[in-house]
Amino acid sequence: MGDTAVKLSRTVTYALQATLQLAQSETNEPVPCSRLASEGDMPERFLLQILRSLVTHGILQSTRGVEGGYMLERAPEDISLLEIIEAVDGPMHTRLPVNESLPSEAQIRLRDAIHSVAIEARRQLHEVKVASLVDIKQAVAI
């Protein structure tokens, strides 16, 4: 059997990475986008858009000014992978294009099967919390 890969968009990958960086931060001070970008090797302008989406969706909070930056809005135990993914990529949908060559019964069964898989994927992503992905005790300074 070959390896099965889950493809995440670059937007989701950066959102997850920045959130994990903030969860591991030793300081309770806001972390500037520029520092997140340089530490995580991410393009700053693109990351800024992603961070804004995470703020809009209640995952991060932002502070303006010289000492400004980003922090987690909630505890890492209260933030799920599903929330982060949907904050930047929108709700996970499973819409299949209509394929006229398939009999309608086959289309219905295929749609139902894909829908079932999507529901299970959403459930599993909701169960994975940021806290389970980082070692808070051995947090690294950003």
pTM of the model: 0.81
Give the Cα separation of 40 and 98 in Å (integer). 41
Instruction: Return the structure tokens found at 56.
Output: 């809009």
Which pLDDT does position 140 carry in this prediction?
44
Residue with tokens 């086959």: 106
Residue with tokens 């993914």: 85
Domains and CATH numbers, the chain: 10-138 (1.10.10.10)
Which pLDDT does position 18 carry in this prediction?
97
Which pLDDT does position 21 carry in this prediction?
95
Residue with tokens 């997140």: 36
Amino acid at 47: L
Which pLDDT does position 5 carry in this prediction?
61
Per-residue pLDDT of the chain (142 residues; tens, 9 = 90+): 555 566 788 999 999 999 999 999 877 899 999 999 999 999 999 999 999 999 999 999 999 988 889 999 999 999 999 999 999 998 877 666 666 677 788 888 888 888 888 889 899 999 999 999 987 554 444 4
Which pLDDT does position 142 carry in this prediction?
43
DSSP state of 71: E
